[in-house]
Amino acid sequence: MRLFNKRSELPPEVQKRVPPGQYLTEKWPVLHYGPIPPFDAKRWDFRVWGEVASEVRLAWEEFQRLDRTQVTADMHCVTTWSKLDQKWEGIPLRRIVDLAKPRPSARFVIAHCEYGFTANVPIEATRDDNVLIALRANGAPLTPEHGYPARLVIPKLYAWKSAKWLRGLEFAATDKPGFWERNGYHNTGDPWKEERYWGD
């Protein structure tokens, strides 16, 4: 297994997929604050609320039966590692939007996770075809440390927006900075603009 480090040593076609200031890794690091939450299929539910025409509450049984999609996408962590060609399988965010029908007043999406962790994005960032709620990664169910049973994946933003152990989505009229966004990380987090920290 090769572990490239310097961006300048990568072949040009790979280099152009690695945003400025990032290093390529072939391992998949684990990064989060706090403990890994336990999963109880009987108590788990997925909720959508806020500026929506129909609130959603799905039990695990129903949630994991929603139609799935597969996405291959690169992953960029603000701590400077990038991992190319992650293979995700899960529920396209579009499917959740169809169920909940956000009102025109909905301008932000707040991901709500176990233990009160949240991450905020402008609603536009959730409209790409490769945004999904992943249940599987690289051919297997998510492992507990990578977000089992479900995590948000928004490939075009730094990976702290790809909230693990996701339990719900809130559509909001006003922005609500999430956990990392309140703790020094940039509110938007576009890796191609190196929006890493407050003031970048």
Question: Which of 95, 99, 91, 97 has the alpha carbon at shortest distance from 109?
Answer: 97
Which of these segments, 22-30, 43-51, 66-74, 152-160, binds Mo ion (CB under 5 A)? 152-160
77 binds ligand MTE (CB under 6 A): yes
Closest approach of Cβ 33 to ligand MTE, in Å? 4
Q: 18, 22, 24, 32: which one contacts ligand MTE (CB under 6 A)?
A: 32
Decide: is 77 part of the binding site for Mo ion (CB under 5 A).
yes
**Please, what is the minimum distance in Å from the beta carbon of residue 115 to ligand MTE?**
7
Q: Does 23 sit near Mo ion (CB under 5 A)?
A: no
Which residues in 132-161 contact ligand MTE (CB under 6 A)?
Answer: 146, 159-160
* CB 159, min distance to Mo ion, A: 5
What is the CB-side half-sphere exposure of residue 24 using CA atoms within 13 A? Answer: 21
| Stretch binding Mo ion (CB under 5 A), from 90-98, 124-132, 158-166, 192-200 | 158-166
Least distance CB 32 / ligand MTE (angstroms): 3
* Interacting residues with Mo ion (CB under 5 A): 31, 77-78, 160
* Interacting residues with ligand MTE (CB under 6 A): 28-33, 77, 113, 117, 146, 159-160, 162-165, 180
